[in-house]
Every structure is written in structure tokens, then in C-alpha cells.
Amino acid sequence: MSVQQTAGPDPYFPANGDPRYRVHRYELALDYRPGPNRLSGTARINAIAGRSALTEFQLNLADFRIGRVRVDGKAPHYTHRGGRLRIRPPKPVRAGAAFTVEVHWSGNPRPVSSPWGGLGWEELEDGALVASQPVGSPSWYPCNDRPADKAAYQISVTTPSAYAVVAGGRLLTRTAKASTTTWVYEQPAPTSSYLVGLSIGKYQTVLLGDPGLGGVPQSGYLPAQLLPEFSRDFARQPAMMGLFQDLFGPYPFGEYAVVVTEEELDVPVEAQGLSLFGSNHVDGARGSERLIAHELAHQWFGNSVTIADWRHIWLNEGLAKYAEWLWSERSGGRPAHQLAAGAHRKLAALPQDLLLSDPGRKLMFDDRLYERGGLTVHAIRCAMGDEAFFRMLRGWATLHRGGTVTTSVFTSHVSRYAAEPLDDLFTAWLYETALPPLPGPAVQPPARPAHPPTYPPANADPARVRGE
């Protein structure tokens, strides 16, 4: 069973989120003007109180001007400082009762400060994008900013008509009026606040694959001048989608979009049903294909199956890293064991001070966590054998679809599929800092299904990506 709430604040970010209630649905109506970087918005938040009556609660929101706050239509007492909007309703909300919060805000959005630089809303030379992991969501909307609190979203964005708006979910309507256009997206799947993605820019739209054949609708949004390179770099994404559905189970959302900005990004960023890439990730030579696989895999591992708090981030990154290796060995590249051996050599030469199960805030995005996470998954595969391992992996994504999990939930799940106890393996890889020996023996790729999709070779025809 998925873990729906943690008992208290996130140990890495205690100022973010409020475990005393959970949100069922956000309805965000935004108006954004790129020139002056001006954002105004209204949020209608449908929530449910926890086991105790709520005499007060908090939302996270950056330094905007607050126009109005209402709780069930009535004016509460509130304070707004230090990124926290503290609200005291006119009368306490009963334990387990539904309630609605309405917030109006406006100002110039900017990233929130973090140990990794600015996070959240980022103004571009001609547009904007949102990259919130882990605590950047309050840079643009009021939210219960904790990964365990997953909700449905409807997002309406009005912006000048020259710009396209891309958000995770299904585009419901696009309505032009005078010089502006309003885009309305619906994401019904449970979504953590940090996974709400948004991009505003002058993009050309392309379709990847053919959803008319029963596949997942996949779209790309990019500057027109990057279309030749994009067509080659992303040509095999539909095949990736087919492979990952074979291995992990059905794609957990209704559609998948990728955005390429005109500007460079340090790393691509996953959001729910959406991934953001920089122009530096498009070279026409498939130089970033492993990152395309990594971000797609996050739709299962991290987005659909979400960690209950940030101590467990290796579950997101280790499984997505291993998906890179699986794609490599199934598409004519190096096998997973060879890639694992390279990762092991790299880690062996680095400090041995990373505790994978609880890396601490300082090391939660350390490159070693990604590599050791992938190696841990590989060690489990080697110990279990392919048949049990891939049944386990598909079961993990299926059983916890839309839910939240922890490391202990994962190890218990793995143990149910293993023929022998794996306690020593878990201790060595997850709960000790010293790097264990490279797991072995080498494993073989999983057996193909009876009617496998085609995984094209590296010289596949890029015409599979069609412009619209």
C-alpha cells in the first residue's frame, strides 16, 4: 500500500508543506505578460483536513502582493512572510472535513533561493519556464509544497497570442480574444507540487509517433530553427515509450510532451507528463539520448510513483538511471552490466560518504546518488534474476501508481519477489556508505514480448518525427 502522508514536516525542508491537511484539487487562473514579467493569479484550492481540527494552516507562496484570501467564502486572518501564507479560518475546520481556499496574488515572479541556485519560475529572454524540483513551486503559485501531497490540477494561462503555453496534462481549450490567448490544461492524475510544469515561449509543435495506432500521444515544442536536430535526437522516443511500457507497465498519464527552450539548461527537468530540455541538449547526433530516456522513465518513477519525502530521492533517480541502461542494452547499445561496471569504477575513485537511503539535503542531487542508485537496482537484478526482477519492477510501478512510497516500502516489495532474503544486499547498498563490490554475474536482456515493438537502430530514419 502506498504511503499517503508522512507524520510530520519533510526533514530536509521543514518550512515547506503542511501535513495537517491534504489538497484534492488546484484550479489556477494565471495572467502572464512576458515583457514586464508580470504575473497575476487566482488559486482555488479544494482540500481536506486531517485527523485534527484545523485552527490554522499554511500554504507556501513567495513574495507576491496578496489581493484576497477566502476560506469557504469567508475572510480569514492571515499573515504572509518568509514564503509562508499562514491562514486562520473564521472558525476551525472540522477533522476530516472538506474546505476551499481562494487566494489572489500578483507581482514579478522570480526563482526562490536554494542551495542549488534559483528554483521555480525563470524568466527567459522571450518567455518563461518552471523547473521547481525540489522546492520551487511557491515561486509562482500558493501550494502545500510537499511531495506526499498529490492533487489534480486545472491550469488556465492567459498570455499574448504570439506565445504558446505548455503544461502537463490535456489541453482542454485554447481561446483567442483580442491580442491574448487563454490556454486551459487539465491534469487529473495525482500530482506533487514540484512536478507541475509550465513553459511559455514561441514554439513550433511537432508530433512524435502515431497515437492513432494506439500509442501514447507525444508532442514536442521547440524553436523552429532547432527542428532538424530535434527530429533526429528525439526520433527514437516513441520506441522508448514502447519499451518502457513493456518493462514498467502502461504509461501512467494521458499524454507526454517535451519542450526545448532557446536557452541552455544545466540539466533537463521532469514534470508530470512533461519534460524540459535546453537547446544544449539538442545536437542532431543523439548526444543526449540517455537523458531523453531518463526523463521519460521519471514519468513512472518519481512522477506516478512519488517519494513520501526527500530522504528517498534515490528511488526516483536510481530507477531512472537504470532505465537509461535498459534502453541502451535493448536498442543496440552497451549492456547494463557494462554500464554498471563503468559507474562502479567511477564511484570507487570518489569519497565514500554517501548514505543512499538518507543522503541529507547537501548530497541529495550529488552525481554519486544517481550512479549508486542505478548500481543498487542492478545489484537487485543480479541477485533476483531477470524473470523475477522484471516482474518486481512492473509490479512496483503498477501497485503504487498515483501513490507515494519510501525506501522501506520498496525493500519490502522487492523481498516479496526474491527467492532468497536480500537483507545483506539492502544493508550494503542502502544503509552503509562504503561502496560494495560490483554485482555479478552479468545479466542478459529480458525476453522480448510475443509482439514486441520495433526499437530502431542508431541510423533510424528521423522522418518518424512529423512537424505540425
SS3 of the chain: helix, strand, coil, percent, to 5: 30, 30, 40
Which residue among 295, 324, 329, 371 is the active-site one? 295
56 among known catalytic residues: no
pTM score, whole prediction: 0.93
Kindly indicate the confidence band of residue 459, based on its pLDDT and cuts at 50, 70 and 90: very low
State yes or no: cis peptide before 441, omega within 30 of 0. yes
Q: Residue 440: what pLDDT?
A: 83
Q: Residue 9: what pLDDT?
A: 83
Contact 237, 251 (CB under 8 A): no
| Length of the chain as a residue count | 468
Q: Residue 213: what pLDDT?
A: 64
All three cell numbers of 160:
499574448
80 is in an annotated binding site: no
298 is in an annotated binding site: yes
Is the four-CA dihedral 166, 169, 175, 177 of positive or negative sign? negative
Q: Residue 93: what pLDDT?
A: 98
Q: Residue 215: what pLDDT?
A: 85
Q: How far apart are the first and last CA of the chain?
A: 43
Is the four-CA dihedral 443, 447, 452, 457 of positive or negative sign? positive
pLDDT at 461 over 60: no
281 is in an annotated binding site: no
141 among known catalytic residues: no
pLDDT at 115 over 80: yes
* Separation CA 66–CA 105 (nearest Å): 5
Q: Residue 7: what pLDDT?
A: 58
Domains and CATH numbers, the chain: 8-199 (2.60.40.1730), 307-430 (1.10.390.10)
Read off the pLDDT of residues 369-413 as tens digits, 9 standing for 90 and up: 999 999 999 999 999 999 999 999 999 999 999 999 999 999 999
Long-range contacts of 227-230 (CB under 8 A, 24+ apart): 227/467, 228/284, 229/282, 229/283, 229/284, 230/206, 230/260, 230/282, 230/465
Query: Which of 13, 313, 299 has its CA nearest to residue 143?
Result: 13
Q: Residue 451: what pLDDT?
A: 36
User: Do the bridges between strand 65-71 and strand 77-81 make them parallel or antiparallel, or are there none, so unpaired?
Assistant: unpaired
